[in-house]
Amino acid sequence: MDDSDARNLLAQALEVDPDLVAADASVATLEAWDSLAHVRLIAALEMRLGRQLTPEEAVAIASLDDIAALLAR
Amino acid sequence: MNWKPGQPLRLETDGFVLRSMAASEVDDRFVGWFADRAVMEHVAMPMNLPRERLQRFVAGFDNKSTFLLRIDAKPGDVPIGYFRVWCYFSYGYAKTAVVIGDRDYWGRKTVLETRARLLDFLFDGLRLHKVTGAVYTRNMAAVFNYKVQGFRCEGILREQERGHDGGWRDVYLFGLLDREWRARRGR
């Protein structure tokens, strides 16, 4: 799966260079992924998708893979 | 730990002190948190409560099975927020809620650091089996903190509460078991 879109979106929310976002990036591995960055990420995802995330979707986001999967739907 | 039920509780981390709050300590800062729309957006309590009402609210916690723990930042013991805890010893679990009233402490891992100390107390000190928390589904910062700390989302309550704008709010239920916390702590 091409996750460059997800990586750029996450990097923007975390305010870091996309090159610093590893393929296995998650809330457990990225120091910059804090609560405020998470708020920015959810807002960016909703802006991209043009709709509010469902509670089930929102609570499932904890890694780059999760973001890529959501964008690929 | 020297604490006995009914006595004020004091827990400490590197950066903060959690301590039982007295009604006499309801000051302008505490009252102000209840008037701050950004702070109260995700808090299931009425806004703009008067000082006397908040004093009764604080006095209602007994330091036996219910606790209102003010979070003071070091150095200087500056109040920045509070935890509420309700323990159900017969059932082996506690419900918790946290509010960071001082916005300067948002996004600084304040909740993670202070709740870790509280969880140690609840699991190791009080020997509870489970700790739960409930949060509006749009409170993404709180959701993030629960997940990072190992809580699992155990359910979604649809349109469970009415927000300050009159709209209905869905609520996530999060839970953490004692063995899960000990595994994270390496114990």
pLDDT tens per residue across span A6-15: 999 999 999 9
Q: Say if residue B74's pLDDT is above 80.
A: yes
Please give the average per-residue pLDDT across B174-185, as a whole number.
96
Tell if the CB–CB gap between B144 and A34 is shorter than 8 Å. Answer: yes
pLDDT given for residue A1 in this prediction: 46
pLDDT tens over chain A, length 73 residues: 457 899 999 999 999 999 999 999 999 899 999 999 999 999 999 999 999 999 999 999 999 999 999 999 8
The ipTM is: 0.87
Q: How far is B144 from chain A (nearest CA, A)?
A: 6
DSSP state of B79: E
Q: Say if residue B165's pLDDT is above 60.
A: yes
3-state secondary structure A30-70: CCCCCHHHHHHHHHHHHHHHCCCCCHHHHHCCCEHHHHHHH
Instruction: Give the rounded percent of residues in chain B with a pLDDT score beyond 90.
Output: 96
The model's pTM: 0.92
Answer whether B97's CB lies under 8 Å from B118's CB: no
pLDDT given for residue B77 in this prediction: 93
Work out whether strand B66-73 and strand B16-20 pair parallel, antiparallel, or are unpaired: antiparallel
Q: Which of B127, B99, B122, B94 is nearest to B111 (CA)?
A: B99
pLDDT given for residue B147 in this prediction: 94
pLDDT given for residue B2 in this prediction: 84
Q: Say if residue B183's pLDDT is above 80.
A: yes
* Look-up of token digits 């323990």: B87
Tell if the CB–CB gap between A37 and B107 is shorter than 8 Å. Answer: yes
Answer whether B140's CB lies under 8 Å from A39's CB: yes
Q: Which of B57, B9, B67, B11 is nearest to B31 (CA)?
A: B57
Dihedral angle over CA of B40, B98, B17, B122, nearest 10: 170
Per the prediction, chain B carries an average pLDDT of 96
Which residues of B are less than 8 Å from A28 in CB distance?
148
Answer whether B66's CB lies under 8 Å from B9's CB: no
Which residues of B are less than 8 Å from A58 in CB distance?
137, 140, 143
Q: Say if residue B34's pLDDT is above 60.
A: yes
Answer whether A12's CB lies under 8 Å from A44's CB: yes
Tell if the CB–CB gap between B153 and A59 is shorter than 8 Å. Answer: yes
pLDDT given for residue A2 in this prediction: 54
Q: Which two tokens stand for residue B16?
A: 């903060």
Give the separation between CA B70 and CA B19, rounded to whole angstroms.
5
Q: What is the pLDDT of residues B1-14, one digit of tens each?
A: 789 999 999 999 99
Give the separation between CA B108 and CA B111, rounded to whole angstroms.
8
CA angle, corner B133, sides to B129 and B137, nearest 5? 145
* Look-up of token digits 């509006």: B136
- Which of the four pLDDT bands, split at 50, 70 and 90, describes residue B91? very high
Please give the average per-residue pLDDT across B62-89, as a whole number.
97
pLDDT given for residue B107 in this prediction: 87
